[in-house]
A and B are shown apart, each in its own frame.
Chain A
Amino acid sequence: MMDFLDRQHSVARLGYSRWMVPPAALAVHLCIGQVYAFSVFNKPMSQLIGITAPAPGDWSIPALGWIFSLAIVVLGLSAAFGGAWVERVGPRRAMFTAALLFGGGLVIASAGVALHQLWLVYLGYGVVGGCGLGIGYISPVSTLIKWFPDRPGLATGCAIMGFGGGALIGAPLAVSLMKHYSSAASTGVAPTMLTMGIIYLCFMMIGPAIVRVPARGWMPAGYVPPTSADEAKKMVTIHNVTADAAIKTRQFWLLWWVLCLNVTAGIGVLGQASLMIQEMFPLRFPHDTPVAVAASAAAAGGFVGLLSIFNMIGRISWASSSDYLGRKNTYAIFFSLGAVLYALVPWTGKTHNLALFIIFYLIILSMYGGGFATIPAYLKDIFGSIQVGAIHGRLLTAWAAAGVFGPVLVNYIRQFQLDRGVPKADAYSVTMYIMAVLLAIGFLCNFAMTPLHERHHAKLSEVEALA
């Protein structure tokens, strides 16, 4: 009945432009990127009974924080376990499924909010929506790489830029809808989630509607595939490796650490950026009167918004530059420049140099986004394109690990420093130095990357079966 979703019915006909594929991918990623803006629901969801302030029986903020964490963990797991399925069924069915799961997850979560059943919100947004996140995240990667063998970084950067941009849409959309639906008796969260579920379900369907896979053997005009000479010189393979074989290689685990360390360094700071800038620059963000507190929080919110924009810009700019710089060189820049900037951040606080603090963090966050967006092309260079989506899915477990490790590192070290009597303005110094060390370790992991030994290469019969 749903045959039109199959890979064989998705092959591009004459006249189809490959430039239709990035918007198809963006339609999915712009929606699932909403997960980064989920925190806008936290405060109103903690006041569902009290409406204007938390009341007995209302959900606590830590309990609500688990919704986001659960969604990210399930994203990693579903990408890891669903990657091979996505490769088999093709992008159309995968995007269609992701839309149903993510949109449906929001609808289930809205029912959980309406019935005041937190487990239903966990199940809806965290588990069902999280599966939609994982499947949706990897669904266009392999197809983009096959359409753009000449510019894989640009192509995957386009899609993954959408995931960064999703928060920029999701936050104001949720705020506007909650304002529209709220009343003296309701915070408006349940109808907002229901509306967003329907909007995202419809918008994500643009993906399966316009995405196509290239016909077998298709190549863009003028494209010269890499030769065995390029393989050694530029570390771009002409062979293919299956997902099962890839995870048994040293290179896969080096890249796992490359992604994990790059994400750990960025994600912890992203979550604490608002608090950090206020505590490191108390003169610029005063807290002496209620008006000053509100103004400082608004200005710090502006800083977080600026970070989100650079996170998004970094995804497309670094990933597309990596097509010229090479993936290994691009990550070498991320890790070396990132380590230096992190080590210098405490100095900006001590010298009250807010402008440099902001510039340093914008560069750091651009490289955080760039790390996400460049990794699919790096995988394609090392393992070939035949199962790059499935390999990418398995590598995303590094994101799930970093999603737990990064914030814990920043929060606990800050608290440890404060408990020892360190002033708030200096409480982040140790964390910054630890981040610099983590990035230095990432530099070494990236430096150790070498082309794969030929024993890992898939046999021609395996490639034929998977193509």
Chain B
Amino acid sequence: MQQQQSSGGSNTGLRVALAWAVVLIPLLWGVYNTILNVAKLFS
């Protein structure tokens, strides 16, 4: 059995993009907040 995930086309791509966006947005928010604190080290 090979490449079960290959078919599905743009619909699959959209779902993958959405799933990544849902987890990366809060992560980037956390990184942004941390960088604001990091700036105090160099000020």
Contacts and interface: CB of A to CB of B under 8 A. Distances in A.
Nearest to B31: A168
Given A301-B40, A305-B37, A218 B4 contact: yes
Contacts of B22: 23, 27, 206
Given A16-B8, A17-B12, A162-B23, A217 B40 contact: no
A57 interface: no
Contact of A12 (B5, B15, B33, B40): B5
Nearest to B26: A169
Contacts of B33: 168, 171-172
B16 A20 contact: yes
Chain A interface, DSSP helix/strand/loop, else mixed? helix
Contact of A169 (B8, B29, B35, B43): B29
Interface string B1-43: 1111111100111011001101100110111011101111111
B40 A299 contact: yes
For this complex, into which size category does the number of interface residues on chain A fall? 35 or more
Chain B interface, DSSP helix/strand/loop, else mixed? helix
A16 B37 contact: no
A302 B38 contact: yes
B29 A23 contact: no
B37 to A, nearest CB: 4
B41 A303 contact: yes
7 closest A-B pairs by beta carbon, nearest first, are A15-B8, A168-B30, A302-B41, A169-B30, A221-B3, A23-B19, A172-B33
Interface of A: 12, 14-20, 22-24, 26-27, 30, 162, 165, 167-172, 203, 206, 210, 214-221, 295, 298-303, 305-306, 308-309, 358
Given A15-B8, A169-B26, 4 more contacts: A12-B4, A23-B20, A206-B19, A305-B38
Interface of B: 1-8, 11-13, 15-16, 19-20, 22-23, 26-27, 29-31, 33-35, 37-43
